[in-house]
Structure 1
Amino acid sequence: MNVSEQLLHILKQEGVQHIFGVAGDALNPIISAIAKQDTIEWIRVKHEENGAYAAFAQGELGNNLGVCASTVGPGALHLINGLYNAKKERSPVLAITGQVPVAVQGTNFHQEVNLEKVFADVCGYQAIIRSPEQAPKIILKAIRTALNDNCVCRIELPADIAMMEAESEKYIHSAFRSESITTPPTKLIEEAVNLIADAKKIGILAGAGCRGAKETVEAFSNRINAPVTHTLRASDIFDHSMENVVGLTGLIGNPSGYKAVMEPDLLIMLGTDFPYTDFLPKETNVIQIDIRPENIGNRIPVTLGLHGDIHETVALLLENCPEKEDCSFLDDLKKEFREWKKSMEQKADDERELEPIHPEIFARSISEQAADDAIFALDTGTSVIWSSNFMNFHSERRIIGSFNHGSMAVGLPAALGAQFQFPEREVWAMVGDGAFNMTLHEFSTAVKYNLPIKVIVFKNDELSFVKIEMEEAGLAPNLDALHVDNFDFVAYAQLCGGEGIKVEHARDVEKAVAMAKASKKPFIIEAIVNSGELSLPPRIGLTEATDFGLSKVKEIIQSLGGNREQWENLKKEIEGYFD
């Protein structure tokens, strides 16, 4: 057994089933070792970054590592963006990179890169193998660190050591996985109970740290009559059919979700490091509970911080808090949220016959038809807006994406990773045409491996979210820079060996979604949507109104000056808003 085979043996022992990557010189010993067994499958992606996104999806969705691999310098550098996404989402991912032989390291050898420096920020630990004797010890340390800290770790295997005879087999054992639970001291629980007892209006802002604690948080909100606002990442925990959920806050939020955070005299933040301080209160009493103590007080000053597991800590509060009688604040926001949902249903009604089609109609139809345990890979951009506002991630549905890193092009490769891990579940990629153009070559990867992913491409020939950002900053959009050159995506799907359908009329949306759902092949819905669709935050202040108005004035001036593109853009926005 050589060192490469030993590494593969350890990964098999830890339950790894897939390695996503692109083959190359320094990886050849590992590729050879994979060919000799049938437990771990080498998944040939078209680009290493997409392999890292696929590994992120597996780390995010399961209770195990996602694994990606690349060869020396250039290939390893391609992993970086996908790995940063895993870091920001706190997904356990192991990256295996080759390196030039030890004898020539430090000599500016062909393709040599100081990977330790390059990966220093993205990795929680780097296992840089210098000898066969050292290898199993630090390989297992990398695995333990990734699993227990929910982070990215890297194994660097020089080409010469990869072929050497393995040593130190006595050190190989199952990686330790902590099951310990952290709870705050009784004194702090009592302080929290007193703050809750004294408060008249309480709001809860719940994040992805509440995964596994849904029922406990729901019971707690009932006991203290607190509306629950959730973050984007927690949309599949606190779905919009739950009794006390009042929606999202932030730039893509809704009014009731915003008010539930900004108007109470006590805000309880659960498992969230919500970054948008403009949507957090300035002078309200705040209790923040988080398993990561560095998050407590990170965004706004807190009255009381509780370091602990969300489920166990909230259970202690639930056990000790008196039941609140006044439910007027909760009831008012629940009513407002119901009204908002009704307005969203009207916006997503397929009776709205504007063409190009309102993108909301597609999102609602997918929400209504997708399986109760479907996985949705949401790409960065307006596809997140349509998904979060017009879909309900109830039951066992999951969402994944680049919610903290905010990188385009995560949707399709993340869908690949998800479908590999859960072949029996429906996997939907919700992507814009800009993002799809960046990764469309991986659709042929889905065909090669018979992955029946469903890809909806919101096709409006522009980078719509970037246009919104420019308008909010008071700038007239540079429509030439924002333009996306597209082609026939259905023909492309068929060329690759998949299936697809172009949808240009609202009356055909439901049928197209049903076709995608039923297909046993990778499927593309080419959704021809209106580029003028507006998305406004739940609260527009004077600064936002001024900047947005200034942008529109500039667009009108350019239109009157003969800029045909700006005129067409304004027309589409007016049609989209008033239809």
Structure 2
Amino acid sequence: MSRNVSEQLLEILIEAGVTQVFGVIGDALNAFAQAIHKHDEVEWIGVRHEGNASYAAFAQAELSGNLAVCAGTVGPGALHLINGLYNAKRERSPVLAVTGQVPVSQIGTGFHQEVDLTKIYDDVCDFQAVIRSPEEAPRLIQRAIREALSNGSVSRIELPADIAEMACEGDDYLQPLFRSRASLVPDDAQVQQLAELIRTHQGKRISILAGAGCRLARDEVIALADKLQAPITHSLRACDIFDHDCPHVAGLTGLIGNPSGYHAVMNTDLLLMLGTDFPYTEYLPHDCTVVQIDSSLPRIGNRVGVDLGIHADVKASLQQLLPQVESQGASEFHDKLTGSFNDWRREMRQAADPSRDHEPLHPQIFTRFINEHASDDAIFVVDTGTITVWASRYISFHSDRRMIGSFNHGSMAVGLPAALGAQLLFPQREVWALVGDGAFTMAMQDWLTIANLGLPIKMLVLHNSSLDLVKLEMEVAGIVPEKDVLAIDVPDLADYSRWCGAEGVRVEHAGDIEAAIQRAKQSSGPFLIDAVVTNGELSMPPKITMEQAVGMAESKAKQAWMALSGDQEQWNNIKEELAAYFDSSDD
């Protein structure tokens, strides 16, 4: 029996190792979905919104490094995929989007639901396989897969409704999928130059700023830090590479960083930037020697002036460098910063003590207990917002723990759908989704999908009925936060979870927090914790600029004046912030 183009596409995806496709079915995808139905090797995961499909595919690609697939039909369905695909692009995760299209004879006529998807997808995709005949389909499909895998990028296959059902051709072009196992090796002379730079800085302050490009080079980075007695500051994406308990770690820098991480980068004589394109130039030094090692040449010197740039993999570079570097003696700079980091951790632990029983609750108490009870190989999906602050400060992503999110794209509502993708990819591992109420309610329709599938995802929702990070952004800009633009009307989410067929508990008292987290951990199905928390908790950066201080002071002065003038909303906001700040621990 002859196969059609959709069946041929599916066979190529199976050869590439694809086992699941996330999407919403529709007319142009009907033949593709029917092909999936005939094969046990691939499962169609129907979601309630295509945007959640692309976030789920991102999670699988990010965690595995393998190709993940999402799908959306014709114009409207294909457009919904965009945001999650942008997230995959920014995190450099290999994702393939299969999109339907109107019949070829109708393209360009303004047909019902027709959209010029090539133009729309031009920025997000490295390659678009726009199929206009069965003969070209296999070559274009295979190239789309190779481009996504080799570049860690997004590709798209456009499959018109009529082509999808035509008899396939071009089997002669089908071939095994070859994957690169190559390492980008540095130039010997540049490695020697770096070794000489290190020798000339012996006895001076040397720091490491490490990013996600160090994932395969963790041991080498630690070995280098040990030889140089250099503190390691890391990016947010590298939290699960250089965890809180890792030797030589001084913490995070940037807007959600801590003081020791900030000072390690800003007060050094020699900064080694390893596998990072850290974007916040105000948190990078401009008066020291900078070396950058990166596998992407355009990223070298992208953020700060570089004295030496080495275009190579971090692991290969450090393997060549380490034998050429002598061990340094004790470093007061290193010891002071790593000691300061440990002091900061103790302060953070006190701030998250359950004896701080102010109500609404302090959000960091929840992340502290999750850190204590989550398994050593748990996957944490962290959404965008103040939850990112509490997760990065209170959870140590040690052992085989992983953390993913929208850390470069910065999109809300990644948490729930990415947890869906992660749990389906790793059914035996704990998956914790840490989200705010704004992010959860943006994607909450697919909690029903998770409940229907019976996936044991543990969902923490920080419920403060406010877009909290936006409030802080407004205040540092000198703007008075107004309830009518920041407030969100959120129902009892534990009730909602139970309505969906999952478990749920609403937590309003500090004494109930740990028990709720233990219940979630022990649950064999989806479990949602509706954490009623204060919106008065301040998450301050490690260094407050004059502009930020002036903006915050201006906003607070305006709020105080409005409160004194009888504005009850502003008075309530000030009272809550003061109550949250002065709530002390007995620890």
Same fold? TM cut 0.5? yes
Matches within 5 A, 1:123-162: 123-162=125-164
Cα distance in 1, alignment partners of residues 14 and 341 from structure 2:
48
Deviations 1:248-293 (A, max 9, x none): 0001000000001001100000110000001000111100000001
Shift of 1:326: 3.9
1:545 to 529, 542, 549: 549
Cα distance in 2, alignment partners of residues 387 and 562 from structure 1:
37
Cα distance in 2, alignment partners of residues 203 and 475 from structure 1:
37
Matches within 5 A, 1:196-235: 196-199=198-201, 200-235=204-239
Q: Secondary structure at the match of 2:480?
A: coil
2:489 to 479, 485, 492: 485
Does residue 427 (structure 1) correspond to residue 428 (structure 2)? The answer is no
The amino acid of 1:512's aligned partner reads: A
Cα distance in 1, alignment partners of residues 548 and 198 from structure 2:
34
Does residue 437 (structure 1) correspond to residue 441 (structure 2)? The answer is yes
Does residue 122 (structure 1) correspond to residue 124 (structure 2)? The answer is yes
Segments of 5+ residues of structure 1 without an aligned counterpart are: none
Q: Secondary structure at the match of 1:130?
A: coil
The amino acid of 1:27's aligned partner reads: L
Cα distance in 1, alignment partners of residues 445 and 520 from structure 2:
19
1:396 to 382, 397, 400: 400
Matches within 5 A, 1:90-105: 90-105=92-107
Moved more, 228-237 or 540-549: 540-549
Partner of 1:318: 322
Does residue 111 (structure 1) correspond to residue 103 (structure 2)? The answer is no
The amino acid of 1:269's aligned partner reads: M
1:171 to 167, 170, 173: 173
Partner of 1:41: 43
Partner of 1:375: 379
Cα distance in 1, alignment partners of residues 571 and 200 from structure 2:
56
After the TM superposition, which parts of structure 1 deviate over 2 Å for at least 4 consecutive aligned residues? none
Cα distance in 2, alignment partners of residues 446 and 104 from structure 1:
38
Does residue 458 (structure 1) correspond to residue 467 (structure 2)? The answer is no
Cα distance in 2, alignment partners of residues 280 and 18 from structure 1:
41
Partner of 1:14: 16
| Identical amino acids, percent of aligned pairs | 55
Cα distance in 1, alignment partners of residues 349 and 257 from structure 2:
16
Does residue 561 (structure 1) correspond to residue 545 (structure 2)? The answer is no
The amino acid of 1:444's aligned partner reads: L
Shift of 1:541: 2.4
Deviations 1:370-390 (A, max 9, x none): 010000110100110110011
Cα distance in 2, alignment partners of residues 302 and 109 from structure 1:
53
Cα distance in 2, alignment partners of residues 563 and 461 from structure 1:
19
Q: Is the 8 A contact 2:36 2:42 kept in 1?
A: yes
Does residue 532 (structure 1) correspond to residue 532 (structure 2)? The answer is no
Deviations 1:70-116 (A, max 9, x none): 10011000000010000001000000001111111111111111100
Does residue 406 (structure 1) correspond to residue 398 (structure 2)? The answer is no
Partner of 1:71: 73
Cα distance in 1, alignment partners of residues 270 and 513 from structure 2:
44
The amino acid of 1:184's aligned partner reads: P
The amino acid of 2:558's aligned partner reads: K
The amino acid of 1:229's aligned partner reads: T
Deviations 1:130-157 (A, max 9, x none): 1111001010000001001000000001
Cα distance in 2, alignment partners of residues 479 and 201 from structure 1:
47
Partner of 1:57: 59
Cα distance in 1, alignment partners of residues 151 and 137 from structure 2:
21
Cα distance in 2, alignment partners of residues 563 and 212 from structure 1:
55
Q: Secondary structure at the match of 2:256?
A: coil
Partner of 1:574: 578
The amino acid of 1:76's aligned partner reads: A
Q: Secondary structure at the match of 2:451?
A: helix
Cα distance in 1, alignment partners of residues 453 and 364 from structure 2:
31
The amino acid of 2:338's aligned partner reads: K
Partner of 2:257: 253
The amino acid of 1:154's aligned partner reads: R
Cα distance in 2, alignment partners of residues 479 and 272 from structure 1:
38
The amino acid of 2:293's aligned partner reads: I
1:500 to 501, 504, 511: 504
Q: Secondary structure at the match of 2:512?
A: helix
Cα distance in 1, alignment partners of residues 283 and 483 from structure 2:
30
Shift of 1:171: 1.3
Partner of 2:283: 279
Q: Is the 8 A contact 2:186 2:316 kept in 1?
A: no
Deviations 1:188-233 (A, max 9, x none): 0111111111121100000001111111100110001110001000
Partner of 1:186: 188
Deviations 1:453-486 (A, max 9, x none): 0110000010000001011111111221000101
Shift of 1:295: 0.3
Deviations 1:177-197 (A, max 9, x none): 111111221110111111111
Q: Secondary structure at the match of 2:543?
A: coil
Cα distance in 1, alignment partners of residues 235 and 4 from structure 2:
47
Shift of 1:63: 2.7
Cα distance in 2, alignment partners of residues 226 and 321 from structure 1:
13
Q: Secondary structure at the match of 1:267?
A: strand
The amino acid of 1:405's aligned partner reads: H
Partner of 2:517: 513
Q: Is the 8 A contact 2:99 2:159 kept in 1?
A: yes
The amino acid of 1:559's aligned partner reads: A
Q: Secondary structure at the match of 1:10?
A: helix
Cα distance in 2, alignment partners of residues 391 and 4 from structure 1:
44
Cα distance in 2, alignment partners of residues 175 and 141 from structure 1:
10
Partner of 1:86: 88
Partner of 1:303: 307
Cα distance in 2, alignment partners of residues 126 and 69 from structure 1:
14
Moved more, 39-48 or 167-176: 167-176
Q: Secondary structure at the match of 1:238?
A: coil
Cα distance in 1, alignment partners of residues 492 and 339 from structure 2:
44
Cα distance in 1, alignment partners of residues 238 and 229 from structure 2:
20
Cα distance in 2, alignment partners of residues 104 and 475 from structure 1:
51
Partner of 1:350: 354
Moved more, 165-174 or 370-379: 165-174
The amino acid of 2:429's aligned partner reads: R
The amino acid of 1:439's aligned partner reads: A
Q: Secondary structure at the match of 2:337?
A: helix
Partner of 1:5: 7
Q: Secondary structure at the match of 1:175?
A: coil
